[in-house]
Amino acid sequence: MPANPFPFAGLTDAEVAAARAKNGLNTIEEKSGGAFWPAVKGAVLEPMFLLLLATSIIYFVLGERTEAYFMAGAIVLVSTISIYQDSRSRKALDALRAFSEAQATVIRNNTVVKVPMEDVVVGDHAVAEEGTLLAADGVIVQSNDFSVNESILTGEAFAVARNTEAALATVSKGTQVVSGLAVYRVTAVGKGTQLGKISTSLAAIEVPPTPLQQQITRFVRNMAIVGVVVFLAVWAVAYMRSGSLLDSLLTGLTLAMSILPEEIPVAFATFLALGAWRLAKQGVIVKRSTTVETLGSATVICTDKTGTITENRMSLAQLFVQANGATLAPDAWSTPEARRVIEVAMWASEPVPFDPMETALHEAYKKNTEVDRRPEFTMAHEYPLGGEPPMMTHVFANATGERIIACKGAAERVLRQSSLTDAEKTAVLAQVETLAGQGLRVLGVAEADFTGDNYPKDQEEFTLHFLGLVAFNDPPKANIADVFQQFYAAGIQVKIITGDNALTTASIAKQTGFRGAEKTINGDDMMQLDDAALRTAVNDTTIFTRMFPEAKLRIINALQAEGHVVAMTGDGVNDGPALKAAHIGIAMGKRGSELAKEAASLILVNDDLGNMVDAVAMGRKIYGNLKKAIQYIISIHIPIILTVALPLFLGWVYPNIFTPLHVIFLELIMGPTCSIVYENEPLEADGMRRPPRPLSLTFLTWKELSISIWQGLVITLGTLGSYQLAVQQGLPEEGVRAMVFSTLVIANIGLTLVNRSFTASVLSTFSYHNNLLRIVLLLTIALLAAVLYIPLFRDFFRLASPTALQLGTAAVIGLASVAWFEVYKWAKRRKGVSGRAAPAGVLAPLE
């Protein structure tokens, strides 16, 4: 076939450049402007920023300029970290948008090419076919049975016919092609399109927060309320004891800083954005980063067959010729009867084939025909693939008035409209079973006669002359058996939902180690079931054949009604409703229609289901690591809060053991630990051998929270024990502070290490690859050494350099305050309940 089958040469490169210079890119302006200033505004409005600012001002008023400048520097540093994290998240999301950019088909330089949708210009001749989104506004110049869904503009979700007639020729950017094919001349792009003009109202639509976002927001808000109450109480107690308004205010601000868990929202946004970015590098485009939350909870994967389980590299393997009742291998296709079956099957395909089966038919026609007649015929009418089971019909005509009406589709559907006798139909169906039992994809082929130009409204009105069967070989992918086993090991069921027949699908499934290949149900039978019977059927059945959109949607809804978290793969227009209904809609990047990609929540760039194993693993890893980070944040905040509050409330000899300087130092250590170190942790060794996490599970239940509380309380015992030990040894306030501070920083190091896994021992986690952990821990140790032993820093933080014995004592106490958790994990493993039945990264609470 020629590179351009259409009677339009399109724009030249020079004309494209001129049009782009005049009208700009075909993009609709984003709601927000640049990324930097919104990030700065967000950082300035953070509660921690306001607390640091207030503390800095008070130090200035008290005349303690060194401390004031330090707090001012801390403001800059904390804000820089916040802006940096925001930048990382934004860049990751921008990269995702670039990865998932839609493509448009245009005619340029007399060649049909694909370009990014933003590169379409006014004057382009764009090609729109079933399953695509219109790239721009335009006027149709050629069409065949073309209809679009304009619900994005009108809100009415039904097909609207469009053709070259003046009243029906206009089409709009963003509308969806339901059927047929058209070429349209672009008249407006970007903000000049109808969609662009209403973009402001579309941008105002806010995506509701996910359950996890709501839980985290609620937790942070409650902690903030607690912080305000405790701040006022501490301020009042400190004022009554000291009589100094500003000094007591500093004490209250110190405690407020220690309570506020501002790292949690930052960690949440960073983990999801970077997780989505990492998945993109692995070939999985996550359109919404919050989808990552759901991945780790998937309990069922519903996959199609062709191109997902199989290679989608169709080769025409056998023919059944009705004229002589023969089933023929390729070396016997030279007979006129066999050639006729191939030729009619080719005419029933698209003129420019993109489906592998149609490509194979065009290749077989070219190889076996004596004269290629394709250039002399043009399509006069098209009946797109449709019906239950599906069939399609094309009408071609040439300049002499010769007409070809060709049909292909599901064999039983073609036979139903054919003129064969019942006995002949039964014999053909027996041939279908024989071929399908070999794992071949079988289609029926027929032709029709028709006179006049007033074609029937529906292809069902044709009486067909059955010619034979075409059978395609599409072998399973080499890795698919391993992919299935990985899903099964992770506690995830796999179900096949296909338009193919049961015998072909079962044969392919059995070659892959697929479980339950012996039990199938077809779409018509399934639709006869009531809701209760269907819920039973979807649990008991693993292969669903001859499926159509309504049937697919019922399966998804029934699985969800049974409490499953459903992932669904799809590539065609008819998959859109099911992809949208599934918890995780998965479109194919290479062969998927733009409509499928639009409906899906993630895209497999290389059409490789194995990437979904990576995606599920990433979802589990991110959720587990986020849980570790937040439990770490809670655990380390408890000893800071109590070490600040208890000496004051209990009237100990040195009530202000920590000042804002010490708290901000600890905050600067904790921030990178939770948002950088834990984000980079690998999935635990048994992460894909645990059952999925229930989607309804509270992120931190009280039982799980008790682990963090116990950890924090034991560390508090350690810090307060160091306090009392130092006082008993007669150390001055600076020496006591150094002992307590060292104990807490070293305990923080130990906590970081033991919390890398809530099931495995700390020794086994040393094999985890995480260079950032080493860097952060070494920097923490270096900073502690500098603060303790460099006079400038030591005096600034009002510490005394501890002796080797004192520092060793602090280290022993600090590490012992977290080491008990290793004993606890060991005991739980000995009992054989080390979290195997728990969600990823969770350990049962203290009992």
- Per-domain residue ranges of the chain: 13-31+101-203, 263-281+616-830, 284-310+477-607, 315-473
3-class SS at 469? strand
Residue with tokens 């904790």: 670
User: In whole angstroms, what is the distance from residue 346 CA to residue 361 CA?
Assistant: 5
pLDDT digits (tens, 9 = 90+) for 539-594: 999 999 988 888 999 999 999 999 999 999 987 666 778 888 899 999 888 777 76
User: In whole angstroms, what is the distance from residue 126 CA to residue 182 CA?
Assistant: 8
3-class SS at 401? coil
User: In whole angstroms, what is the distance from residue 536 CA to residue 157 CA?
Assistant: 32
How many beta carbons lie within 10 A of that of residue 370, not counting itself?
6
What pLDDT shows up at residue 700? 75
Confirm if 57 and 160 have CB atoms less than 8 A apart.
Answer: no
Question: Any idea what DSSP says for residue 362?
Answer: H
The one-letter code for the residue type at 254 is: T
What pLDDT shows up at residue 93? 53
CA 227 to chain centre: 36
- Half-sphere exposure in the Cβ direction for 500 (13 Å, CA): 32
User: In whole angstroms, what is the distance from residue 126 CA to residue 237 CA?
Assistant: 74
Strand 326-328 and strand 137-149: the pairing is unpaired
CA 346 to chain centre: 38
CATH superfamily of 315-473: Calcium-transporting ATPase, cytoplasmic domain N (3.40.1110.10)
Nearest alpha-carbon partner for 306 in 594, 74, 607: 607
Q: Residue 247 pairs with which residues in a beta bridge? A: none
pLDDT digits (tens, 9 = 90+) for 659-714: 877 887 887 777 667 667 888 889 888 889 989 988 777 777 787 789 999 999 99
Residues of the chain falling short of pLDDT 50: 1-2, 31-33, 200-207, 834-847
Question: Any idea what DSSP says for residue 677?
Answer: I
Residue with tokens 């809060």: 641
Confirm if 328 and 521 have CB atoms less than 8 A apart.
Answer: no
State the CATH class of domain 284-310+477-607: alpha beta
Distances (CA, A) of 254 to 48, 64, 713, 812: 11, 16, 19, 27
State the CATH class of domain 13-31+101-203: mainly beta
Residue 766, classified by CB atoms within 10 Å of its CB into exposed (0-12), middle (13-18) or buried (19+), is exposed
What pLDDT shows up at residue 830? 82
User: In whole angstroms, what is the distance from residue 287 CA to residue 276 CA?
Assistant: 8
What pLDDT shows up at residue 838? 35
What pLDDT shows up at residue 705? 87
Please determine, looking at this structure, whether the domain spanning 263-281+616-830 carries the CATH number 1.20.1110.10. Answer: yes
What pLDDT shows up at residue 842? 31
Terminal CA-CA length for the chain: 74
For residue 389, cis peptide bond before it (omega within 30 degrees of 0): yes
